[in-house]
Structure 1
Amino acid sequence: MTQKRPIFAVAPMIDWTDRHCRYFHRQISREALLYTEMVVADAIIHGPRDRLLGHDAAEHPLALQLGGSDPAKLAEAVKIAEPYFYDEINLNVGCPSDRVQSGTFGACLMLTPEMVAECIAAMKRVATVPVTVKCRIGVDEQEPEQALPELITRVLDAGADAIWIHARKAWLKGLSPKENREIPPLDYEIVYRMKQRWPDVFIGINGGIRTLDEAATHLAHVDGVMLGRAAYQNAAILADIDQRFFGAPASEPDWEALRDRMMAYAERHIASGGRLQHVARHMVGLFTGLPGARRYRQILSTDAAKSGAGPEVLAAAFAAVDFSGTEQEAVSA
């Protein structure tokens, strides 16, 4: 798949990139590709589908990440998800958590590339949108120079439309999920080599990328860059990507407009039976580096969690921030 322009994506993150987080991120960037949390195929088949798959139309472009290792169940999950109009379906071959391993999917699938290929083939037979893979460079004692090309070869033969590569190994035993995001050394060069080997295939990179300058460096070698914790913990970084990577007119972020949109969204969520905290918890890191950010975080972390808290808490939090500083400093931090 030849990509005509780069893709900048916010990584799927369990317990973080839920629908409220994605709506918030979309208010900051119109162009970023957003991903759901990983949703297990069994949960979609047997669980509350609207809660698991529902989203606001504003979230697009939006990809659904699935977890599973049973081709038939994954295909059924893809068919069930079709009326929700996702723009991409992604198979998780990279999560190293014990919970994921116990279900025989995630990073442990790197050990069985033929199974991954069967899953992709089954998903492709029923999908009406691109089907992609997100993987590691290897797991445990695997040699990445052998394991990664073998996986890529098999999934491309099965019809995969794109490959996202987290440029670290995953250690299935001995490291926690958090340690697996930090301890195994990054190897960006192997991802670059995969792109050289498959020049006509979309290959994106993920892992340890903290700034837009770093993202730009990677885009000289691959087709897409995916940020995880850096985008979540300092969401203001998203404010510059439309202009920097997609040619949008340069403009200062309109934080008051963002406040008003999020207040309206929170009001709708509360009216439907939700709590302000469901929305506010994703906004805590927005103003990292600006005067007043500490007070902003305190308000969202404490007042938003109180019983009966309403959108006025968001207004109070924004009022604590001094925007007379240079927003670009926060954006590039």
Structure 2
Amino acid sequence: MENGPYSICIAPMMDWTDRHCRYFHRLLSPHARLYTEMVTSAALVRGRQLRLLEHSQQEHPVALQLGGSDPHELAVAARYGMDAGYDEINLNVGCPSDRVQSGRFGACLMREPAVVGDCVKAMRDAVDVPVTVKCRIGVDDQDEYADLQHFTETMIDAGVEVLVVHARKAWLKGLSPKENREIPPLDYERVYRLKREFPQLVIVINGGITTVEDVLAHLTQVDGVMLGRAAYHDPYVLAHVEAALYGEPLPTREDLLLRMRPYIEAELARGTALKHITRHLLGLYQGEPGARGFRRRLSEGAHLAGADWGLIEQAMAPQRVAA
């Protein structure tokens, strides 16, 4: 398949894909579609926490992921997201955490496709940007292909044109969110089948994808690939994906850090603590000589009062010698 706007995406990850992380990922991957951490519609509408929508212009294209199950509230939250400048609103129908279930959203909504359809319709009526859905292939004992098929048909009827599918089902009882990302077996073929049966739908596959070879293989079957933990723990893989898909020259890790400098210094001037940014950089030298020392210098120094760009220069110094 030819490269499209969803060929490479970086997953919404709670506590990870904040605005600092997304800025860094944009440097690594100029073509990737970025996603925010999940923001609940209640936080925006009832809590008026509009600060959660803050992002930089350099992040685009970037999608706001919402969690919720009340159509009206989601519509208002989606409007806030569009007005804040987001390019897409994505509804979370995949997160299995207890906190999410107690709010009747996330993966438990896969049992209620009609509710999800109503939410999508309300959001689409409220905004002029795409409304997309991220789901699992099943939930608990409701994991027959026919269930996913019915869910997908309901999404299409609601106007969804892009479906992001984590190729594992979710166990809502008995497994932690971490275990739900690892224990239920991956079933890529089920997602491929979905694309074959609904060719009009843009299908993005997610789950267990870690290498450039994985990305290229999946793109022969579906429209896009969403990288999650691999993009966070070994972010340089994103640069390799860019090179493979778009012929982008491979930047050095040092070059990427130097390109972060203006952003970091501007954030420090705003009062942002260095540790909030450097925690997203720790995996940059993953698998390289000196990676442990790089992580240690940043981890130990970034929380100290007055920590600034000089700390990153110190962390880079041994890598320069090794190169």
TM-score in terms of structure 1 length: 0.93
Contact 1:204-1:226 at 8 Å conserved across structures: yes
User: Which residue of 2 is the match for residue 330 of structure 1?
Assistant: none
Contact 1:74-1:122 at 8 Å conserved across structures: yes
User: Which residue of 2 is the match for residue 56 of structure 1?
Assistant: 56
**Could you tell me how far 1:292 is from its partner in structure 2?**
1.3
Structure 2 segments unaligned to the other structure (5+ residues): none
Query: Distance between the aligned counterparts of 1:207 and 1:323, measured in 2?
Result: 37
Contact 2:137-2:167 at 8 Å conserved across structures: yes
Regions of 4+ moved over 6 Å: none
Label 1:33 to 1:69 Cα distance change in 2 as closer, same or farther (>3 A). same
**Could you tell me how far 1:233 is from its partner in structure 2?**
0.1
User: Which residue of 2 is the match for residue 328 of structure 1?
Assistant: none
Partner residue of 1:308 out of 306, 309, 317 = 306
Deviates more, 1:130-139 or 1:253-262: 253-262
User: Which residue of 1 is the match for residue 263 of structure 2?
Assistant: 265
Deviates more, 1:141-150 or 1:131-140: 141-150
Query: Distance between the aligned counterparts of 2:251 and 2:321, measured in 1?
Result: 10
Percent of matched pairs sharing the same residue: 52
Query: Distance between the aligned counterparts of 1:105 and 1:183, measured in 2?
Result: 22
- 1:279 and 2:269 are equivalent in the alignment: no
Q: Secondary structure at the match of 1:256?
A: helix
User: Which residue of 1 is the match for residue 247 of structure 2?
Assistant: 248
The number of aligned residues is: 322
The amino acid across from 1:106 in the alignment is G
Aligned pairs for 1:93-112 within 5 A: 93-112=93-112
**Could you tell me how far 1:70 is from its partner in structure 2?**
0.2
Contact 1:107-1:170 at 8 Å conserved across structures: yes
Q: Secondary structure at the match of 1:22?
A: helix
Label 1:171 to 1:316 Cα distance change in 2 as closer, same or farther (>3 A). same
Contact 2:253-2:284 at 8 Å conserved across structures: no
**Could you tell me how far 1:26 is from its partner in structure 2?**
0.8
- 1:317 and 2:315 are equivalent in the alignment: yes
Deviates more, 1:112-121 or 1:255-264: 255-264
**Could you tell me how far 1:323 is from its partner in structure 2?**
7.5
The amino acid across from 1:310 in the alignment is D
Contact 2:243-2:250 at 8 Å conserved across structures: no
Q: CA RMSD in A?
A: 1.6
**Could you tell me how far 1:82 is from its partner in structure 2?**
1.8
Label 1:5 to 1:26 Cα distance change in 2 as closer, same or farther (>3 A). closer
Q: Secondary structure at the match of 1:305?
A: coil
The amino acid across from 1:15 in the alignment is D
- 1:207 and 2:207 are equivalent in the alignment: yes
Label 1:48 to 1:248 Cα distance change in 2 as closer, same or farther (>3 A). farther
Query: Distance between the aligned counterparts of 1:4 and 1:311, measured in 2?
Result: 37
